[in-house]
Structure 1
Amino acid sequence: MAVRPPQQDGDEPDSLEFGIAALSPYLSESDLTFPATADEIVRALGDPAIPYDSNGNTVALSDALGAVRATEFDTKRELLDALHPVLEEYREAGGGILSQLRALLPF
């Protein structure tokens, strides 16, 4: 997923990626080959903090993988499909009404 960040001056990006969209660049830049275990994935990617919402809240990849039933993934798509519901749960649980209101305000 991607959301436009609040408008500000400077060299800010045009969009903020979160969820599996934020994980994809790490996978593309790594030497990781599939099939791969969760431990191999974490080692290859360096256990990055993955943003799971537009507010910039993050979860360590190792924690997200710990919530997935599978421990081995045959393809990149299988990995992303397994992580998607986990990152969505973080997004839904992490916000709350106050956080949602804060995201709507321009300051």
Structure 2
Amino acid sequence: MAVRPPQQGGDDPDSLEFGIAALTPYLSETDLSFPATTDEIVRELNDPAIPYDANGNSVALSEALAAVGPSQFDSKRELLDALHPVFEEYRASGGGIFSQLRALLPF
């Protein structure tokens, strides 16, 4: 396994956040209070596209929330716990055939 050399003064991030780790900053930057409904969450966060894999594929928060059973969350932790399997399912599905083909291309 190769180790990536340290970046010299680059602006590239050390890591790419996806899934609930990518959603957490949106929740921290808002005045959203819990309990909150899915509609309130989407409206307060402006329905961001949340990356669900390291390739940068993303899904709208409203679409991810539509796949979750409950429509109200009593806490931030409850929301993140409910969304985690949804993001994992998107990641496992690979984003479809076009994303898989794009990942195979050398450019």
Q: State the TM bucket, normalised to the shorter chain.
A: 0.7 to 0.9
Moved over 4 A (4+): 95-98
Q: Kindly state the Cα deviation for residue 94 of structure 1 after the two structures are TM-superposed.
A: 1.8
Q: Kindly state the Cα deviation for residue 11 of structure 1 after the two structures are TM-superposed.
A: 1.1
- C-alpha distance after superposition, 1:44-78 (max 9, x if no partner): 00000000000000000000000000000000000
Q: Distance in 2 between matches of 1:28 and 1:89?
A: 24
TM-score, with length taken from structure 2: 0.82
Q: How many residues align?
A: 100
TM-score, with length taken from structure 1: 0.82
Q: In angstroms, what is the RMSD of aligned CA positions?
A: 2.8
Note the residue ranges of structure 1 that are not aligned, 5 or more in a row.
Answer: none
User: In the superposition, relative to structure 1, how do residues 95 and 40 fare at CA in structure 2: closer, same or farther (>3 Å)?
Assistant: closer
Query: Match of 1:29?
Result: 29
SS at match of 1:17: coil
- Larger Rg over CA atoms: 2
Identity of aligned residues (%): 72
The residue type equivalent to 1:44 in the other structure is E
